[in-house]
């Protein structure tokens, strides 16, 4: 199947996960600082192995199943993060974007470049009409990244999630296909 991968940008490559990604993915998904914004525990090594194995059975366009892409820095060859796209409605061409990056690679624009490329992949290769992303309002780095790539804030859900005894708010960001095309017209 030609899924249009890998995707090469100026400094990044997005590709499917492979078995050699287990250790660097653990640095992303097993990171406690990342997990605090995910409303879940940091992942175990076993969960990372299961993710990698499960992705070999995921096809572009499988509804309800996250399509996870490794974000590789071209210069070093390091896996710096992961981006996932999930189709929620085939009929309505609605998809969700998610991402998580290793904090030790922060501050260089690598996440912005990778997430921007994934957004384009969702519109161009997956045929999505609308891509949205939810984010914990405390996670300023993530929602600021979405604003940098042109996504707009559509909603602020107050007390959307209960974490322990604390209520957490969520922002919803989105972009439509025609907005993507207008932003990227040459």
Can you spell out the DSSP letters for 24-42? HHHHHHT-HHHHTTTTSPP
pLDDT tens by residue, 55-102: 988 888 789 999 999 999 999 999 999 999 999 999 999 999 999 999
CB of 171 closer than 8 Å to CB of 158: no
Confidence (pTM): 0.92
DSSP readout, 54-81? Answer: HHTT--TT-BTS-EEEEEEETTT--EEE
In this structure, the number of other CB atoms found within 10 A of the CB of residue 75 comes to 8
| β pairing state of 7-8 and 152-163 | unpaired
pLDDT tens by residue, 99-119: 999 999 999 999 999 999 999
Q: Measured between alpha carbons, how far is 41 from 160 in angstroms, rounded to an integer? A: 18
Above pLDDT 70, what percent of the chain? Answer: 97
Q: Which CATH class is domain 7-183?
A: alpha beta
């Amino acid at each position: 199947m030609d899924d249009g991968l890998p995707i090469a940008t100026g400094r990044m490559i997005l590709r499917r996960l492979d078995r050699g990604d287990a250790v660097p993915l653990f640095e992303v998904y097993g990171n406690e600082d990342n997990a605090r914004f995910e409303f879940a525990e940091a992942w175990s090594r076993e969960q990372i192995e299961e993710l990698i194995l499960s992705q070999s059975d995921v096809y572009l366009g499988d509804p309800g199943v996250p399509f996870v892409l490794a974000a590789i820095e071209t210069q070093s060859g390091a896996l710096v993060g992961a981006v996932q796209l999930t189709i929620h409605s085939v009929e309505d061409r609605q998809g969700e974007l998610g991402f998580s990056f290793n904090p030790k690679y922060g501050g260089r624009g690598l996440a912005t470049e990778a997430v921007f490329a994934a957004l384009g992949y969702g519109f161009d290769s997956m045929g999505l009409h609308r891509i949205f992303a939810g984010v914990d309002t405390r996670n300023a780095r993530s929602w600021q990244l979405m604003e940098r790539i042109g996504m707009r804030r559509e909603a602020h859900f107050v007390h959307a999630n209960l974490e322990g005894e604390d209520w957490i708010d969520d922002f919803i960001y989105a972009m439509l296909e025609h907005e993507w095309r207008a932003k990227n017209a040459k």
